[in-house]
Structure 1
Amino acid sequence: MANQQQGSSRPWILEALPLLVVILIAAHVLALVYWIYRVATEKQPQRSKKH
Structure 2
Amino acid sequence: MAKQIHHPVPSDADHAEQMRKTIQDSWEVLALPRPDTFLGRKTYEPFPSERDAG
Normalised to the residue count of structure 1, the TM-score between the two structures is 0.48
Normalised to the residue count of structure 2, the TM-score between the two structures is 0.46
Tell me which structure has the larger Cα radius of gyration: 2
Richer in helix (by share): 1
